[in-house]
Amino acid sequence: MKHFITFLKNRLRSVFAIIFWLIVWEIISLLIGREIYLPSPIHTAKVLIELAADFTFWLSILMSVFRVILGFMISCFLGIIIGIVCGLNRFFYELFNPLVVAVKSTPVMSIIIIALLWFESDNVAIFVCFLMCFPIIWTNVVQGIWQVDENLLQMAQVYKVKELLVIRYIYMPSLMPYLAAGITTALGLGWKVTVASEVLSSPKYSIGGHLYNAKVYLQSPQLFAWTGVVILLSFGFEHVFKYAVENINKNKLLKDV
């Protein structure tokens, strides 16, 4: 009962915060008095409902989600494998580190423009999402590997434990918190860069394409409505991942007990 009350209080605080900022938005909109600059939240909500009645709305969301997931999954797959190799072998770390630093230092717009030269419009967002998320996953995996307790490694060496078992039972528990943090950060970034890529590459069905059209035709309510969709999707993906990680940790603790 105590946990339920605490949960309810936290949710009420979140709802209050959302309502507070919606009121602030409404007040600022009224003060400006021009929908083209800042449409009211009520008008934006109405436009969003109208958009949701169109099949193209859902198809565009589906295609954007597909691009985010595909680019993100590729970055996770390669980031984890290459990160483990680089964390265990200093030579490979020195080999990949300049590339990762270069990608981190390159402006997103530069990467998008380069991708426009290399790929078709439908694949630009996938490539950019992968390239921007990969350094985050790679860095966190390497850091997780480096934080392993040296005493445990020495003990495994003394007892001649197989390397695969060392990776599974010594390296992986140390790696998981860093990997979870990296994936959470990369998910948020993945949404931003994917939509930004879609704005410039304009694939047939995409959230970014609708954002661009709304800007061109000065349709501010549509612009804010689509921006809200991006925020909700990004927020939802991050919370689903956090919930999954928490459940995995709980199940692991129960098994250990």
How many whole angstroms separate alpha carbon 50 and alpha carbon 82? Answer: 46
Helix count (H) and strand count (E) of the chain? 11, 0
Going along the chain from its start, the domains and CATH numbers come out as 50-256 (1.10.3720.10)
How many whole angstroms separate alpha carbon 201 and alpha carbon 125? Answer: 8
Helices (H), 119-219: 121-146, 150-158, 163-166, 172-201, 207-216
Whole-prediction pTM value? 0.80
What is the overall mean pLDDT for the chain? 82
pLDDT in tens, 194-233: 888 888 888 888 888 888 888 887 888 888 898 888 888 8
pLDDT in tens, 129-167: 999 999 999 999 888 888 777 777 677 777 666 777 777
Q: Which residues of 74-103 are buried (b: 16+ CB within 10 A; e: fewer)?
A: bbbeebbebbbbbbbeeebbeebeeebeee
